[in-house]
Amino acid sequence: MSASVSEATLTGFTREAVEELSRRKQEPAWLLEKRLAAWDQFESLPWPQRTDEEWRRTDFRALKFDKLAPFRFATDGSVADAVLGDATAVSAGQKNAGVVVQQDAAILRSEHDRELAAEGIVFCDLDTAFRDHRDLIEKYFMTTAVPASFGKFEALHAALWQGGMFLFVPAGHSVYLPYRNFVVATEGGSSVFTHTIAVLEEGAEAFVVDAYASPEREGQTFTSAVVELFVAKDAKLRYVQVQDWGRNVWNFMTERAVLAEDATLNSLQVTLGSRFSKNSIGAHLRGKNSLAEMLGIYFGDGDQFFDHHTWQLHESPYATSDLEFKGALKGSARSVYSGLIKVFEGAQKTDAYQQNRNLVLSRTARADSIPNLEIKANDVRCTHGATISQVEEEHLFYLQARGVPRSEAQNLIVEGFFRPVIDRIPVEEIQGFLEGAIARKVGI
């Protein structure tokens, strides 16, 4: 290992930075070796090109990787409480099964209900998982769901991950209170890597919430999140992600869920913040009669850019996937949505639905929507749809003529546009948070 250096002197992503991060975390040699193997993979993989279909409409050249600090450790834990803001609104006044709070590269808090821990349920930050549950975490961390070989950014994540949460629910156990992971980025010009792993064994049930937030800062901030969800036979997982990064943040997120026979996943992605956000979200339906419900809400304003790619991968027969992503745009914001329903050979009786709807609230905003089907079985039902539309002036006039101010009229229309997705979320606190966030975005 190289000699110790100050984190303030580190800029750019280098092998030296990987070694220094591991030293700062006081990790064992075997864990550093894993990081360095991922770094070697990162160096061997090419950067995504505009000629790649997934990146054809996505330009990240303005992100200056060579000027970013690869990590910063929090020095004042009180900052997290001040900047989480709306992200914590999804847990205001609520009881939790467990909580992890990450500020920059440091874990500030990791708590788990004692009674649940006594039942054999494991919930902790990722550093603790590698220290106390090595055999368990190594089985799932970036192996089959999102391996380091997945792509350039995923390999970088595997080398420089800094925090996150690990949940393991043994067979037959049900936890109805939510497990929450809060991530706060407070340093401009830095990088934050966070990782979520949830493993539910046969017949288990759990609810996981990730919330990302940061204040406005000078200088670009790079964030990398990887989410790996494993839902075993007859297990049920509800997963919610709320992204509300500051406008200086360039965000890259990869999420993959693996579903076994009779497994159920209900997921929700909320994208509100960041200057640039690229999300790759997929469900691998590997067992018969599995069900993946994939919901998404995004609202861009100013010069925000949101890119969502989704995959509904039907690898076994008699499985169902239902995807509905809705977005609104104002100012000069732009969104890209591309979704693929892929039915593998032999996956008969697949039932898959994909819907992307976009509401454009200004003449300078733009939305692109590209639904795709790839079907290799002959007894399936697969449908998809995409729409891009503006708010009709007649609708606004109708409300204004009845005494509703224009801004409130626009909010009513936008809220009504999102309502079908909001109503599908059976968690009142999250419904309330989304209603408030939409109103703020509209500007009332």
> Is the pLDDT score of 2 beyond 70?
no
pLDDT at 80: 59
pLDDT band of residue 416 (cuts 50, 70, 90) is confident
Q: What pTM does this model have?
A: 0.93
Q: What is the mean pLDDT of residues 45-68?
A: 91
Q: What is the pLDDT of residues 144-172, one digit of tens each?
A: 999 999 999 999 999 999 999 999 999 99
> Is the pLDDT score of 187 beyond 90?
no
Q: Kindly report the three-state secondary structure assignment for every residue of the chain.
A: CCCCCCHHHCCCCCHHHHHHHHHHCCCCHHHHHHHHHHHHHHHHCCCCCCCCHHHCCCCCCCCCHHHCCCCCECCCCHHHHHHCCHHHHCCCCCCCCEEEEEEECEEEEEEECHHHHHCCCEEEEHHHHHHHCHHHHHHHCCCCCCCHHHCHHHHHHHHHCCEEEEEEECCCCECCCCEEEEEECCCCCCEEEEEEEEEECCCCEEEEEEEEECCCCCCCEEEEEEEEEEECCCCEEEEEEEEECCCCEEEEEEEEEEECCCCEEEEEEEECCCCEEEEEEEEEECCCCCEEEEEEEEEECCCCEEEEEEEEEECCCCCEEEEEEEEEECCCCEEEEEEEEEECCCCCCCEEEEEEEEEECCCCCEEEEEEEEEECCCCCEEEEEEEEEECCHHHHHHHHCCCCCHHHHHHHHHHHHHHHHHCCCCCHHHHHHHHHHHHHHHCC
Q: What is the mean pLDDT of residues 34-56?
A: 94
> Is the pLDDT score of 88 beyond 70?
no
Mean of the per-residue pLDDT values for the chain? 91
Q: What is the mean pLDDT of residues 380-403?
A: 84
- More confidently predicted of 157 and 393: 157
Instruction: Give the highest mean pLDDT range of 41-50, 75-84, 229-238, 360-369.
Output: 229-238
pLDDT band of residue 393 (cuts 50, 70, 90) is confident
pLDDT band of residue 9 (cuts 50, 70, 90) is low
In percent, the amount of the chain with pLDDT more than 70 equals: 93
